[in-house]
Amino acid sequence: MRINGTQAGRPRAAIPQAEAAGITTGWPAIADVEGVPRRFEGRVEALLPQADPSSRTQAARVVLDNGDGLLAAGQLARVGLEARARAAHWLVPTDAVIGSGERAHVIVRHGDSHFAPVVVHTGESRGGRTEILHGLEGGEQVVASGQFLLDSEASLSGALERLGNHGSHR
């Protein structure tokens, strides 16, 4: 933490790369400093343009209110970035998403014996689940694993095309 004057503390926070994508200037932050009896509130001043490849984190500079002068140079702070509400999206098992070059597909069950590929736009993947931003309406039955044993992307394209000719299209 570097203190410039006594009104604000500016710790540098290390944010996991997977979390840094949505962080922007002004993002709400909180900090706890060992030995200081209160929580500090602040905001992200800047998301710095370099990532640390060894820790897979990106640095952010945070401004904390230090109006009471409790922060001092050299203190360590545990900084948390407050979660913001995100739009709700469907989640599917990551294994259900078939990437084929520029597009991603999931296989959807139609009736008892018909399956069809559906082009989807994916979002974040975490904990074995992937967000589907577009392409599913909800309520579809998605093949979760063991879709195909394919040797190459050419095989994947052909298999998706053949499957699409036997099932319904979206």
C-alpha span between 42 and 12 (Å, rounded): 12
- 162 pLDDT exceeds 80? no
Q: What is the reported pTM?
A: 0.47
Nearest-Å Rg of the Cα atoms of the chain is: 23
- What does the pLDDT average to over 77-99? 81
Cα 113 from Cα 129, distance rounded (Å): 25
| Both structure tokens of 128 | 């074995």
Which domains, from first to last, does the chain contain? Answer: 2-81 (2.40.30.170), 90-166 (2.40.420.20)
| pLDDT of 136 | 92
With tokens 């897979």, the residue in question is 56
